[in-house]
Chain A
Amino acid sequence: MSGFFGFDTSLPERGGQRGPGGGQQHFSGFQASNVDETFALGGAGEEEDLAVYTWGEGGMGGGGLLEGGDELNDETFGDDLGEINNNFQFSSQPATAPPTVKGKIASTQSRYKPKPVSDPFAFSEDDFYSSRPSKKTTTAKAPSRPKPSTGQSGSVENLWNKPAVSSPAWGTAPSAMTKLTPPPSASFPSQPPAPGHIKSLEEIEAEMAQMAIPSTSTAAPTQQKVFSLEEIEKQMMEQIEPPRQATPQQPAPPREATPTQVPGLAGSGYASQQALLDSMFPELGKGPSALGGLAPAFPPGPRQEGQSQPSQPPQPSPEELARMEELHKRITSKIQSMAKYNNLMGSSDKDFITRIQLSQLATADPYTSDFYAQVFSALKRSRMIAEGQGDGPTVVQVGAGMGLGVGGPVGNRFGKMGQNTMTKLSTQVKKLVENRAQHQKITNTAALQGALGRVTRGNAAAPRPVLAIPTSNKPENRPASQLNQQTGIHRAALTKKQVMFALEELYDAILELEQMRREAPPPTAMEEIEIWHAKCQAKVDIIWRRLMVMEPLDISIPHPFISLVNPIKGQKLFPRLLRHLPHTQSITLLSLLIATYTQLDVVFRAPPPPVADASLLTKADRLDRVKREAETDSFLQFVIPGVDMIINRCGLGLVAGMLAISAQRSEVWRVAATRPGVALYTALLSKAQSLIRSPTPDPMNPQQNQQVDPAELEQWSKTFTYFLHVLLPHLNDLFPSSVAQKAAFGPGAYLIGGDAVSDREGQEMERREAEVWGFVAVLAVNAAEEDQTNLVAALREKILHTVQSSRHPNVSPARAEMKLRNVNMFLNGLGLDASMIE
């Protein structure tokens, strides 16, 4: 035990030698009973299978005490350890035994010798100060006072036996100390204990008494600056004295004192606290009223403010100044704190970051990946050029097939960065791309890297690619084209997902193709043009394959191509596709479309006739109707014009063939009962009629200059007659109004038959009727004479009803006029007029 702190184990006897004294109790800690207790505790370790220590052997009878943790002393006790050498001065200890120690203690000491820094004997921070060889000031001494006690209490005995010994001893001692009047601190510097000097009991007592003082005033131990007694007195006076004493001159000293002091210490007085408060919360210092309840607690501060304020009203108030100053201070300190990061990044670092940011923008296809911005800028640019302003690049080309879309005409996509920045950008990205190209070459050789399962994070030779540009050089594997080779195979129709996916692919291809067309090389460069043409053609072929038009007609229902045209998305694609397809392919496409017309959603699931009362429908039903109508509208808007265009390029023979296909493969009257069907047939018939009637040369299609081939003409008339005869019995059902009337039931029938429907709906109905009237008009024009009579006979009732209802007083004039015009469209074709009907 005793060896632990380098003490003689025989301390109890020594304590007896010392004789009685005020401090005696504390130092008689090593009573035999204590030692026994300690041992009992240590011995308990035997039963508990702990390491057993014999008395005097290691000096570590405490059992569990950490002995070897001296490395941590630095952390525990602070950095001052460096000043401690091995020459331990137990100066304050009433050691009769000199530091020169007995044999067994020497062994432990030698143990610690190699570590001169750490002081294993120090139990508390105060120990350190006391064990310092040089003590010059009283301030350093003040904390040292605990030494005599801590030297002991730090020993293992006291740790174990705290309640037994130390507490009664200390419980009485400090109370006694406080009764002592604080001796003037000035008296202490006169007697600095020389190293190795052994203090007398009186000295120790005095020290302990001194120690008691700080505990009452709480500030001294940790404070750097120690107030003299006078200073403390003055501060106390300030606290007590009435505020009038706080004249403008007066606050200066405490105010000055505050910055150097640790905040919140009582030693600096309330004034400094107030100043601190003021600095922290400038608003608070606006006056006593602002402080409210705090004011009495801190009398000097607010009063000063309150007094000084009225004295200098015109000048900016001191608080304001203080605040400004405070603000300024804060700003400068902030700047300073940030300034340590100045120039942390070299230009290469900045470069690197810029490149990372730019790599987000770089793309293999600046046009399509930035399509709308490009189109927008193209529009804007054309306007600017019209206004006489210059134009700039819309794409910063970097390397082959790499670029940055910059959109705006003068590169102001990046805000106010000018042309200069743009060039900088482009070089940056160029560098990036080149880097990557180089690395990629190397990476290829390291293709097997990680094959054995090691996750490679890249190395110097093959760094992880920073910029991953998606490259799609996968060979296109289309089951569709494979299936072409096998015939007679039926498949399930494409799922919606497949359709959507195929459409997206098509859109991608179309966008690429359109971009390619836009990038036509100058007409002088023959070779480039050839290459360009080949490229475009390849792309068109890809698109053609993706369209799956060449799939066998019956491969699935609906045909894959029809599946593609069914969604609105696909319909919108149609005109854009046609623009690129050569004539033969578009004819093929049209034949397929006509042959599979019934499979179209807009035909197969044509919108049902309107009902008089929409409230009869369920919500899902209503939505479905809306959707179907939307699809039909979009089909008429996007697909039919394309169909018209192709038909217009056809000769009579082709038109006849198309009609024949349709008549063969579908129930004509069903198709004709739909708006797309009406539109298709109208287009076909009117084209045929224009070909037959006016074989005059068409400037657009010079190849059709020649007279209509009589064989073709004959084929046409045959086909048409067949077509008409299939259609005739159903003619009335083609009219939406008739269909609606048929479908209606209950009171709704009257509503629809009667013209009670709202005028807007009525006009819409007439517009749809007009489509059919137009169709029957074309039928009439194409028909032979006897067929014309049949036609009129079939439509006789419809004509009469329409004309009569147009004269009905309930019908709005606008609608009546539409009705008449519709009927006249048909009658005029036959050389008749509605006015002839009575």
Chain B
Amino acid sequence: MDDAANSGISEPLDLVKLSLGERVFIKLRGDRTVTGLLHAYDAHMNVVLSQVEETIHIVDVTEDGNPLPPRVEKRSLEMLFVRGDGVILISPTQQ
């Protein structure tokens, strides 16, 4: 079975395919991460997610240029299209 599973995987995106319909964790450029149910993807890593929770890591800077401790902002979205050029990594959520 292991062989059979591996023989069908010929390119990296085949692994992403295995996560279709599953919750995935996506790291994006701009200090953002997103988790959601993977509905679709393409060769450009464009991705459609549902039940999304987006997490944005923000470091505010005071007027004299000192960084404040990083804070995290979250928002939830019903459905989300993620453009592929921002995607850094896709992984199944650990549970």
**Residues of chain A at the chain B interface (Cβ within 8 Å):** 372, 474, 477-480, 491, 494-495, 497-498, 500-502, 504-505, 507, 567-569, 572, 623-624, 627
Contacts and interface: CB of A to CB of B under 8 A. Distances in A.
B8 A501 contact: yes
B37 to A, nearest CB: 9
Contacts of A505: 8
Interface in B5-55: 5, 7-9, 17-22, 40
Given A501-B9, A623-B95, A627-B95, A478 B20 contact: no
A772 to B, nearest CB: 29
Nearest to B2: A498
Contact of B4 (A477, A507, A567, A623): A477
Contacts of A478: 4
Interface band, chain B: 10 to 19
A501 B21 contact: no
A504 B19 CA distance: 9
Contacts of B20: 504, 507, 569
A479 B95 contact: no
Contacts of A477: 3-4, 7
Contact of A497 (B3, B5, B40, B95): B5
Contacts of A479: 1, 3-4
Contacts of B9: 501
Given A569-B20, A569-B22, A572-B21, A501 B5 contact: yes
The B contact surface, by secondary structure, is loop
A242 B91 CA distance: 78
A504 B18 contact: yes
26 contacts: A372-B40, A474-B7, A477-B3, A477-B7, A480-B1, A491-B1, A494-B1, A495-B2, A497-B18, A498-B1, A498-B2, A500-B18, A500-B19, A501-B5, A501-B18, A502-B5, A504-B17, A504-B20, A505-B8, A567-B21, A567-B22, A568-B22, A569-B20, A569-B22, A623-B95, A627-B95
Contacts of A568: 21-22
Nearest to A507: B20
Interface string B59-95: 0000000000000000000000000000000000001
A482 to B, nearest CB: 10
Contacts of A495: 2, 5
A502 B4 CA distance: 9
A627 B20 CA distance: 16
Most central of B8, B40, B95 by chain A CB within 10 Å:
B8
Contacts of A491: 1
Contacts of A623: 95
Nearest to B10: A470
Nearest to A546: B4
Contacts of B3: 477, 479
Contacts of A572: 21
A457 B21 CA distance: 40
Most central of B1, B3, B9, B19 by chain A CB within 10 Å:
B1
B20 to A, nearest CB: 7
Nearest to B95: A627
Nearest to A504: B17
A624 B40 CA distance: 25
Contacts of B8: 501, 504-505
B35 to A, nearest CB: 11
B21 A624 contact: no
B32 to A, nearest CB: 20
A494 B19 CA distance: 16
A651 to B, nearest CB: 36
Contacts of A494: 1
A479 B40 CA distance: 30
A494 B5 CA distance: 10
A186 B58 CA distance: 77
A569 B21 contact: yes
The 7 closest A-B pairs by CB, nearest first: A500-B18, A569-B21, A501-B5, A498-B5, A479-B1, A498-B1, A504-B17
Contacts of A502: 5
A111 to B, nearest CB: 64
Contacts of A480: 1
A266 to B, nearest CB: 48
Contacts of B21: 567-569, 572
A455 to B, nearest CB: 20
Given A491-B1, A504-B20, 9 more contacts: A372-B40, A477-B3, A479-B4, A498-B1, A498-B2, A500-B22, A501-B8, A504-B8, A569-B20
A507 B18 CA distance: 11
A129 to B, nearest CB: 58
Nearest to A624: B95
A498 B5 CA distance: 6
B19 to A, nearest CB: 7
Contacts of B17: 504
Nearest to B37: A568
A534 B9 CA distance: 29
A474 B95 CA distance: 35
A120 B20 CA distance: 76
A505 B6 CA distance: 12
A617 to B, nearest CB: 15
Contacts of B5: 495, 497-498, 501-502
A704 B78 CA distance: 47
Most central of A477, A495, A504, A623 by chain B CB within 10 Å:
A504
A96 to B, nearest CB: 79
A507 B17 CA distance: 11
Contacts of B2: 495, 498
Contacts of A569: 20-22
A497 B5 CA distance: 8
A507 B20 CA distance: 11
A201 B8 CA distance: 94
A484 to B, nearest CB: 13
A477 B7 CA distance: 10
Contacts of B4: 477-479, 498, 501
A504 B7 CA distance: 13
Nearest to A372: B40
A568 B50 CA distance: 15
A479 B6 CA distance: 13
B18 to A, nearest CB: 4
A565 B18 CA distance: 15
Contacts of B95: 623-624, 627
Nearest to A505: B8
Contacts of B22: 500, 567-569
A226 B19 CA distance: 78
A546 to B, nearest CB: 10
A533 B1 CA distance: 30
A581 to B, nearest CB: 21
A108 B85 CA distance: 67
A372 B22 CA distance: 18
A500 B95 CA distance: 15
A687 B16 CA distance: 42
A497 B18 CA distance: 7
Nearest to A474: B7
A349 to B, nearest CB: 26
Nearest to B9: A501
A391 to B, nearest CB: 26
A478 B8 CA distance: 12
A502 B22 CA distance: 14
A203 to B, nearest CB: 73
A25 B87 CA distance: 76
A480 B18 CA distance: 20
Contacts of A627: 95
B49 to A, nearest CB: 15
A572 B19 CA distance: 14
